Amino acid sequence: QVEVDENGKIVDARFKTFGCGSAIASSSLATEWVKGKTVDEALQIKNTDIAKELCLPPVKLHCSMLAEDAIKAALADYKLKQDPNKEEPEKKA
pLDDT (tens digit, 9 = 90+) per residue, 25-66?
A: 999 999 999 999 999 999 999 999 999 999 999 999 999 999
State how far the Cα of 8 lies from the Cα of 39, in Å rounded to an integer.
7
State how far the Cα of 45 lies from the Cα of 59, in Å rounded to an integer.
21
Confidence (pLDDT) at 71: 95
Count how many residues are written for the chain.
93
Q: In this structure, which amino acid lies at residue 11? A: V
State how far the Cα of 54 lies from the Cα of 40, in Å rounded to an integer.
23
Tell me the CATH number of domain 2-81, given options 3.40.50.2000, 3.90.1010.10, 3.40.50.300, 1.10.1060.10. 3.90.1010.10
Confidence (pLDDT) at 39: 93
Domain residue extents for the chain? 2-81
Report whether pLDDT(85) > 90: no
Confidence (pLDDT) at 4: 94
Confidence (pLDDT) at 89: 56
* 49 contacts: CB under 8 Å, gap ≥ 6: none
The three state secondary structure string of 39-61 is HHHHCCCCHHHHHHHHCCCHHHH
